[in-house]
Amino acid sequence: MVAHLLRLKLTLLRNSLRRRPSQLIGLAFGVLYGGGAVATACAALIALRFDEPSAGISGPVITLGGSVLVLAWIVVPMFAYGTDPTLDPSRFATYAIPSRTLALGLAVSALVGLPALGTSLVAAMSIVTWSHSLVGALIAAVSAILVVATCTLLSRVGTAWASSLLQSRRGRDAIVTVTMVLILGYIFGASTLGGLAGALTAARVTETARVISWTPLGWAWSAPWAWAEGNLVGALLRLALAGLLVALLGWAWVRATAGIVLNPRGLATVSSSERVEGLGLFGRLPAAPVWAIAARCLTMWRRDPRYRMSAVALPLVPLILLVTNRAWAGEAKEVALATPLVLAFFVGLGPHNDVAYDDSAFAAHVTTGVPGWADRLGRLVPYLVVLLLAGTAYVVAAGVMTGRWDAIPLVAGLTLGVAGAGMGIASLTSVLLPYPVPGPQDNPFSTPPGSVGSSFIAQMVFMASDIAVCAPGLALGLWWLTGGPAWARWASLAVSVVLGLAVLAFGIWRGGAYLDGNADRVLARVNRAQ
Q: What local confidence, expressed as pLDDT, does residue 47 receive?
A: 85
Q: What local confidence, expressed as pLDDT, does residue 269 receive?
A: 43
Q: What local confidence, expressed as pLDDT, does residue 244 receive?
A: 93
Q: What local confidence, expressed as pLDDT, does residue 106 receive?
A: 78
CA atoms within 13 A on the CB side of 303: 15
Beta-bridge partner residues of 83: 446
CA atoms within 13 A on the CB side of 330: 1
For residue 414, CA distances in Å to 257, 408, 420, 424, 500 come to: 49, 10, 10, 15, 9
Distance, C-alpha 35 to centroid of its chain: 19
Helix (H, G, I), strand (E, B) or coil at 333: helix
Q: What DSSP string runs through 28-79?
A: HHHHHHHHHHHHHHHHHHHHGGGS-TTTSSHHHHHHHHHHHHHHHHHHHIII
Cα–Cα dist 467/18, whole Å: 33
- CB of 82 closer than 8 Å to CB of 445: yes
Q: What local confidence, expressed as pLDDT, does residue 501 receive?
A: 93
Rounded to two decimals, the pTM is 0.60
pLDDT in tens, the chain (530 residues): 667 666 776 676 666 656 666 556 666 666 676 677 888 888 888 888 887 665 568 888 888 888 888 888 877 766 544 455 556 676 776 676 777 777 777 777 777 777 888 888 998 898 888 888 888 889 889 999 999 999 888 888 877 776 666 666 556 556 655 655 555 555 555 555 555 444 455 667 777 788 888 888 888 888 888 888 888 888 899 999 999 999 998 898 888 887 777 766 554 444 444 444 556 777 778 888 888 888 888 888 877 767 777 777 788 777 766 665 554 444 456 677 888 998 999 999 888 888 888 877 788 877 888 888 998 998 999 999 999 998 898 888 888 877 788 888 888 999 999 999 999 999 998 888 887 777 666 555 556 655 566 777 778 888 888 889 999 988 998 888 888 888 888 899 899 999 999 999 999 999 999 988 888 888 877 766 55
How would you write 241-272 as a 3-class SS string?
Answer: HHHHHHHHHHHHHHHHHHHHHHCCCCCCCCCH
| Residue partners of 367: CB distance under 8 A and separation at least 6 | none
Q: Which amino acid is at 460?
A: M
Cα–Cα dist 311/316, whole Å: 9
Indicate if the alpha-carbon torsion angle 34, 36, 39, 45 is positive or negative. Answer: negative
- CB of 119 closer than 8 Å to CB of 69: yes
Beta-bridge partner residues of 105: none
Q: What local confidence, expressed as pLDDT, does residue 444 receive?
A: 57
Cα–Cα dist 150/246, whole Å: 6
Beta-bridge partner residues of 459: none
Q: What local confidence, expressed as pLDDT, does residue 271 receive?
A: 44
Q: What local confidence, expressed as pLDDT, does residue 505 receive?
A: 94
| Residue partners of 65: CB distance under 8 A and separation at least 6 | 41
Q: What local confidence, expressed as pLDDT, does residue 82 receive?
A: 47
